[in-house]
């Protein structure tokens, strides 16, 4: 994983943001979580997990709270309460510094991987000069984890600037369907690679060349930390996309692809390749206090039918401290993996801010990330294709709202901060956490009849304006407000949502029958608490139905079978939404169920 020492990152970002580490703080979604009794997850970064004689063991990148903690170990019987065992190493082997050509030892070793060879535990790890591919992967072995006797087995893989295109960090060992072993690795640079391993030594087979199996289509190829599992005839490649190590501003997420061959080609659930293309099916992103969920590893049962996915996150309730999630992994009917909530669940209800389509007035097109691009890509209108490039997440950042594209994980911004009439609206990676960077922050105002304007928080408060009419291909720019239809939009939630109370942990709940009073109640997945919002043609209005389509809301916030009311749903500048119909207005938080 491309990273700086975690303690340094946390201190720098805390200084930039003026953060402290209170017992509870605003989550990434902008609300304060309800107090809850919950064991604190242990410090962890890039975890790997195995099981030995009833104990689960986790090894991690060095502990952010201490210097020179090389590969700390922890163990647990229940995956919730953890015992600290101390670091595997107190100093790096001399060969590491010699290979890297440095005299001062790095403060930690990165992204370990634990595997049982049949006779010994093998612990792969990486050491690197940050921001370069001057990196090494090393190997340690021990006959036991309960009574460790670690022995240094030396260098496994080396990468050098000007010599190798790959970056030799984030190692992960995998056994193929025929019992052969392979080592995968990779971070940024030329992506993810695999090479066959000699079972006797744990090192690459003599003369074997690495095979590149995944690389994103655009620089800087923010992809790393591979882990591979075999299930029902396919190899599933899990990787982390985007950026770790930015504390509560990290946007790490986890994607997956699969292939009938361990060496690829891997494709996502839509058949798009992960190599030199835009493929990758997202299965986990940050939500609630679990910011930047990535850096994952798998512990599967012997038949590959189920297991655990362990990842780190940055705790939004504790100043961004990196902590451990353990999640169950199963397989859906379509054959693709399903990752559960953590065994130690969130303090908050729901799964973060939902995604919405943004629809201009008097048009049938929707706002999209043009061409499904990345940093620098334009934001424009296009025909509704119901894909992630046309879905946006609105998240309150305290002094403006971030509007993030689901596909690219980039955000809408005043392009190049050109705060003039006609200034372009484009996308870039989130930088709004930096001081005085308001080019990526937006505010909202009601425009009447349920329509909304989207204004930059920069001086002048110029608003989104459709150039050329609300038709596919029209560009989005900012300009001085005129009150015209070309500056008005509605926001349509994608899929099911919770309509949560902004002041507590309750959510709007329908009665068990087809009709009756709708009330705010504590979250209960067995209750009728998921809603779908359906547009009313020719208006900015919606009908609001239960997800089971067994009823809809009338104007008095009652569930009825017929006579559905038309509601408007508009974002506000405090992170809530205004749900309004004739004579009734209700503030809600929209959340993913």
* Residues with catalytic roles: 46, 224
Residues 406 and 496 sit within 8 Å (Cβ to Cβ): no
Query: Whole-angstrom distance between the N-terminal and C-terminal Cα of the chain?
Result: 31
Question: Quick count: other Cβ atoms within 10 Å of Cβ 130?
Answer: 14
Token pair of 458 as six digits: 């920069």
465 contacts 480 by C-beta, under 8 angstroms: no
d(CA 288, CA 290): 5
The answer to whether 70 and 47 have CB atoms below 8 angstroms apart is: no
Classified as helix, coil or strand, 555 is coil
**C-beta of residue 541 within 8 angstroms of C-beta of residue 568:** yes
Do residues 524 and 516 make contact, with C-beta atoms less than 8 angstroms apart?
Answer: no
Q: Take residue 385 and report the two structure tokens written for it.
A: 């294709």
Which of 288, 267, 287, 289 has the alpha carbon at shortest distance from 278?
Answer: 267
**Two tokens, residue 351:** 């799964």
Burial class of 584 by CB neighbour count within 10 A (0 to 12, 13 to 18, 19+)? middle
The residue ranges of DSSP E strands in 480-528, in sequence order, are 489-493, 498-500, 506-509, 516-517, 519-522
Q: If 0-12 CB within 10 Å is exposed, 13-18 middle and 19+ buried, where does residue 368 land? A: buried
The owner of tokens 């990758």 is 280
For residues 258 and 265, is the Cβ–Cβ distance under 8 A?
A: no
Q: Are strands 151-159 and 135-142 parallel, antiparallel or unpaired?
A: antiparallel
- Euclidean distance between CA atoms 481 and 579, whole angstroms: 24
E-state strands within 217-320: 223-231, 234-241, 253-259, 275-277, 281-285, 290-300, 307-315
Task: Return the closest-CA partner of residue 315 out of 38, 127, 523.
Answer: 38
- Distance (Å, whole) CA 160 – CA 99: 10
* Segments of 353-441 assigned E as strands: 355-360, 366-369, 379-382, 392-396, 401-405, 411-414, 423-428
**Cβ atoms of residues 96 and 115 within 8 Å:** no
Report DSSP letters for 153-201, one per residue. Answer: EEEEEEE-TTT-SS---S-EEEE-TTS-EEEEE-BSTT-EEEEEE-TTT
202: left (phi over 0), alpha (psi -120 to 50) or beta: left
């Amino acid at each position: 994983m491309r990273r700086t020492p975690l303690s340094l990152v946390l201190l720098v970002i805390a200084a930039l943001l003026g953060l402290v580490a209170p017992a509870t703080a605003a989550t990434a979604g902008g609300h304060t979580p309800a107090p809850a009794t919950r064991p604190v997850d242990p410090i962890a970064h890039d975890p790997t997990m195995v099981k030995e004689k009833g104990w689960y063991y986790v090894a991690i990148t060095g502990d952010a709270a201490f210097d020179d903690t090389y590969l700390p170990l922890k163990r647990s019987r229940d995956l919730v309460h953890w015992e600290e065992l101390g670091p595997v190493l107190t100093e790096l082997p001399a060969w590491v510094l010699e290979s890297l050509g440095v005299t001062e030892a790095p403060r930690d070793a990165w992204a370990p991987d634990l595997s049982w060879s049949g006779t010994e535990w093998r612990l792969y790890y990486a050491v690197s000069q940050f921001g370069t591919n001057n990196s090494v992967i090393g190997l340690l072995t021990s006959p036991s984890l309960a009574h460790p006797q670690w022995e240094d087995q030396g260098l496994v893989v080396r990468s050098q600037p000007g010599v190798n295109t790959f970056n030799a960090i984030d190692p992960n060992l995998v056994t193929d369907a025929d019992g052969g072993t392979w080592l995968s690795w990779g971070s940024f640079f030329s992506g993810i690679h695999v090479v066959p391993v000699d079972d006797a030594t744990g090192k690459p087979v003599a003369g074997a060349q690495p095979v590149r199996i995944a690389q994103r289509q655009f620089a800087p190829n923010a992809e790393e930390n591979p882990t591979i599992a075999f299930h029902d005839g396919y190899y599933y490649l899990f990787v982390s996309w985007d950026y770790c190590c930015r504390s509560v501003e990290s946007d790490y997420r986890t994607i997956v692809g699969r292939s009938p061959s361990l060496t690829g080609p891997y494709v996502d659930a839509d058949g798009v390749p992960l190599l030199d293309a835009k493929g990758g099916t997202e299965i986990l992103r940050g939500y609630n206090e679990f910011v930047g969920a990535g850096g994952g590893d798998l512990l599967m049962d012997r038949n590959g039918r189920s297991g655990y996915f362990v990842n780190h996150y940055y705790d939004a309730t504790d100043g961004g401290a990196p902590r451990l999630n353990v999640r169950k992994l199963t397989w859906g009917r379509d054959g693709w993996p399903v990752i559960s909530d953590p065994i130690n669940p969130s303090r908050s209800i729901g799964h973060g801010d939902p995604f919405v389509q943004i629809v201009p007035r008097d048009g049938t097109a929707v706002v999209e990330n043009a061409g499904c691009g990345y940093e620098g890509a334009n934001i424009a209108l296009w025909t509704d294709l119901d894909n992630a490039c046309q879905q946006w997440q609105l998240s309150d950042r305290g002094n403006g709202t971030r509007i993030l594209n689901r596909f690219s994980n980039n955000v809408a911004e005043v392009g190049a901060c050109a705060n003039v009439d006609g200034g372009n609206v484009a996308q870039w990676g989130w930088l709004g956490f930096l001081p005085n960077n308001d080019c990526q922050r937006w505010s909202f105002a009601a425009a009447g009849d349920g329509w909304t304007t989207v204004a930059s928080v920069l001086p002048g408060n110029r608003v989104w304006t459709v150039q050329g009419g609300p038709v596919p291909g029209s560009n989005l720019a900012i300009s001085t407000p005129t009150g015209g239809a070309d500056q008005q939009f509605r926001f349509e939630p994608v899929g099911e949502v919770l309509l949560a109370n902004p002041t507590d942990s309750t959510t709007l709940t329908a009665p068990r029958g087809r009709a009756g009073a709708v009330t705010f109640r504590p979250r209960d997945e067995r209750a009728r608490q998921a809603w779908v919002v359906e547009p009313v043609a020719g208006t900015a209005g919606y009908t609001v139905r239960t997800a089971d389509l067994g009823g809809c809301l009338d104007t008095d916030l009652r569930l009825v079978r017929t006579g559905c009311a038309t509601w408007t749903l508009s974002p506000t500048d405090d992170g809530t939404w205004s749900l309004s119909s004739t004579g009734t207005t209700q503030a809600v938080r929209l959340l993913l169920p």
